[in-house]
Amino acid sequence: MNPTRWSCPGKVFLLGEYAVLAGLPAWLITLGPRFWLEARPRREGDPEELPLGVAPESPAGRLLLSAIQREPTLSASLPRLEFDDPFAGAGGFGASTAQYALLSSALSSLRKPQKDSSEPLASAFRFYRELYADAPIPPSGADLAAQWIGGVTRFEPQGPTEMTAERETRGGRLWSRLWIFSATQQAGRKAATHVHLQDLGRKKSDPIAMARTRLAPLLARVPDILERQDGVALGALLTDYAETLRSEGLEIPATTEDRQFALEFDGILGVKGTGALQADALVVAIDPERLRMEEFLSAMERRGLRFLGCADLDEAGLRAEKPVESNSSGESQG
């Protein structure tokens, strides 16, 4: 076989963390750099193993083991698979769901046709949710859907294993005014999502009831804001959402401090963390007419907040890439 690659983008929640656990909608932004899975011809003596960088108990690992159990001959026919994480394991941008999505797509092209004739995303989402059916609070799968679709994605749960997800077509110029900063360079920032959800499930407080009472009214403001392309209102909503999570103990102190720092600059309309405990990154709404951009970017960099780019409606979702060309030594180029 020719070496083959699949890729998908990273993701951050714009709005909707914790709310999706209560069946409410969420909006997610996808962005580069992209995650990759590469399939190469297996050489004689290569061990039959999981893709490089994929743990057996991860969603991707469990997907592959399940596929092999259903189709034992698959193991011997699998190519050598290598996963590339552009964030170098720092976490926060969907590495786990990227592994799962990419492997799901790769297996679909390598396996015999399955009885499940549903759409690839729907099928992948259903199995992903079933993996966590026994968890007190299972992950929503919103990241998986967003990375599969790309762009800015509106996600809404429709039951234990069903959902609707589509590209958000409203908002226009607002998306280029949402800047994303990674906080993973700051020590101790990452909060593992699955561990965090397990912890929530053991607490006496009910995050789902909180979402329905406190987050639902905030999310109800989104459609009108996007229709009007109201950057001031979107910035205020980001801050309101962040403050609500902070008041519920769902934001780490470092994110609170970073938000307050960013809001001191003229031209910053609102700031919100993103990820479990809002620890992974910041989404910053800017007024390009007022913000002194270079000064702001330099100040954020000195604070350990790395600028990744702005929301991009054109960011592609999961896709198969062109085969990788090899030189005479068999090593890929580029």
Residue 51 has pLDDT above 70, yes or no: no
Percent residues over pLDDT 90 in the chain = 59
Half-sphere exposure of 34 (CA within 13 A, CB side): 21
The reported pLDDT for the residue numbered 87 is: 86
The reported pLDDT for the residue numbered 330 is: 35
Half-sphere exposure of 328 (CA within 13 A, CB side): 0
> What average pLDDT does this structure show over 113-127?
76
> In angstroms, rounded to a whole number, what is the distance separating the alpha carbons of residues 73 and 243?
53
Query: What pLDDT, in 10s, does the model give residues 17-37?
Result: 999 989 999 999 999 999 999
Residue 52 has pLDDT above 50, yes or no: yes
> In angstroms, rounded to a whole number, what is the distance separating the alpha carbons of residues 225 and 44?
58
Q: How confident is the model at residue 332 (pLDDT cuts 50, 70, 90)?
A: very low
Model pTM?
0.88
Q: How confident is the model at residue 305 (pLDDT cuts 50, 70, 90)?
A: very high
Query: What pLDDT, in 10s, does the model give residues 225-262?
Result: 999 999 999 999 999 999 999 999 899 999 999 999 99
Q: Give every strand in the sheet of 178-182, ordered side by side.
A: 268-274, 281-286, 178-182, 306-310
The reported pLDDT for the residue numbered 323 is: 63
Mean per-residue pLDDT over the chain, rounded: 86
Residue 94 has pLDDT above 70, yes or no: yes
Residues 6+ apart with CB under 8 A from 123: 116
The reported pLDDT for the residue numbered 196 is: 56
Query: What pLDDT, in 10s, does the model give residues 172-202?
Result: 999 999 999 999 887 766 655 555 555 655 5
> What average pLDDT does this structure show over 102-129?
79
Residue 116 has pLDDT above 70, yes or no: no
For 198, the token pair is 């397990």
Top pLDDT among 291 and 59 is at 291
> In angstroms, rounded to a whole number, what is the distance separating the alpha carbons of residues 79 and 167?
33
Q: How confident is the model at residue 331 (pLDDT cuts 50, 70, 90)?
A: very low
